[in-house]
Amino acid sequence: MPHFHILHRTHYVYSGFVIDSASQIKLYPVNDEIQRVNNHHITVPQQPAIHLFKDYFGNTTGFFSILPPHKELIIDNLMEVEMLPPREIELTNSMSDAWSIILKEENQLEYHDYLRAEQAQCQVQVQHAIREILSKEQHPLHTIHELSNYIYENFTYQKGVTNVETSVDEIWQLKAGVCQDFAHMLLYMLRLMGVPARYISGYICPGSSEWRGEGATHAWAEAWLPDTGWVGIDPTNKCLAGERHIRLASGRNFSDCTPVKGTYKGGVEHQLEVTVKFGAYEFSEAQLRDSKPTYISEPHSMESVPRNSYMAYLQMQQQQQ
């Protein structure tokens, strides 16, 4: 069974002292029947008390604040995760029964948070494309595969052409983006069809074959089916989520799952460095100390961007995927 050690380091460097920084973190890997967390700890050099709670979507969420003046903030997230064999997908319902259950009023109400498609001018075009893609009636599981394949084959994986505020309309027109955009596009299509779908944040671990976005933070979608419950689908790599997909959080979109959100006081420039590192064995102190950032932002002045580390982190996420 695949076994991964992961380091996810978030490092803010300020050009001067800041005070009253407050951070919300969703850096806690899911622990369930297919993803076993053997070890996990988060460290911050200032050693603030991290208060834990469950958010609306059931994600473990931490909050901490640092009041005294400081010139940097480092959040080290270390985990050891064992991936168990995924559940076998057995289609126990016929095609018509599966669709009937999905569209049943009680299920539409239960999963309403994951059914609301954003307002978009491209809706008619997307609905027309869905009808062309799905040339025949089929089981919802096959529908999910075909929509994912369509995005993989017709959208270009390209960094730097979108940002965290890029809308579905813009993604549809560009036909390009990164994993976050691919996931949002698939969510939009599924929700237009009445299929409950949620956004997943996590990591895609390196393996024997190269995948888009591997070795970094990653995003994909999950759809709810009566035969299987939630099933993960990765349109960036045209596959079901499997033993290399480590889950951190779920929600309606990226904003619900952001690994780090934060604010601070201080009119200074700041720079964000992010390191994501994978290994088969526990990292040594030397490996942790000498780990090189996988992403470094340009210094931002307070005149050009909001005084908000969350915005810097969002931009990093978009460029790293």
pLDDT of 12 reads: 94
Rg over CA atoms, the chain: 20
Q: How far apart are CA 133 and CA 146, in angstroms?
A: 7
Buried b (16+ CB within 10 A) or exposed e, 210-245: ebbbbbbbbbbbbbbbbbbebbbbbbbbbbbbebbb
The pLDDT value recorded for residue 42 is 98
Instruction: Tokens for 308, please give them.
Output: 């908000």
Model confidence at 314, pLDDT cuts 50, 70, 90, reads very low
> Does the pLDDT at position 303 exceed 80?
no
**For residue 315, is pLDDT > 70?**
no
The proportion of the chain whose per-residue pLDDT surpasses 90, expressed as a percent, equals: 74
Q: Which range has the worst mean pLDDT, 58-62, 140-144, 191-195, 315-319?
A: 315-319
6-42 tens-digit pLDDT: 999 999 999 999 999 999 999 999 999 999 999 999 9
Each domain of the chain, given as residue ranges in start order, spans 3-84+258-320, 96-256
- Helix ranges, the chain (H): 95-102, 105-110, 123-133, 140-154, 168-174, 179-192, 254-257, 285-290, 309-320
- E strands, 174-227, in order: 176-177, 197-204, 216-225
| 43-52 tens-digit pLDDT | 999 999 999 9
**In CATH, what is the architecture of 96-256?**
Roll (3.10)
Q: Grade residue 235 by pLDDT with cuts at 50, 70 and 90.
A: very high
Cβ-contact 32, 100 below 8 angstroms? no
What is the mean predicted confidence (pLDDT) over 203-209?
Answer: 85
Which is higher by pLDDT, 219 or 216?
219
Is CATH 3.40.47.10 the classification given to domain 3-84+258-320?
A: no
For residues 227 and 94, what is the distance between their CA atoms, to the nearest angstrom?
10
- Give the predicted TM-score (pTM) of the model: 0.91
Contact partners, residue 33, CB within 8 Å, separation at least 6: 84, 87
Say what the pLDDT of residue 270 is.
86
Quick one: pLDDT at residue 301?
57
Question: Is residue 166 pLDDT above 80, yes or no?
Answer: yes
Q: Is 229 left (phi over 0), alpha (psi -120 to 50) or beta?
A: left
Q: What is the mean pLDDT of the chain?
A: 90
Task: Rounding to the nearest 10 degrees, give the CA dihedral for residues 152, 158, 164, 166.
Answer: -70
Per-residue confidence (pLDDT) for residue 182, from 0 to 100: 97
**How does residue 54 score in pLDDT terms, banded at 50, 70 and 90?**
very high
Please give the pLDDT value at position 79: 98
Compute the half-sphere exposure of residue 16: CA atoms within 13 Å on the CB side of its CA: 8
Determine the Cα–Cα distance for residues 227 and 114; give it in Å rounded to an integer.
Answer: 18
What confidence tens digit (pLDDT) does each residue in 169-191 have? 999 999 999 999 999 999 999 99
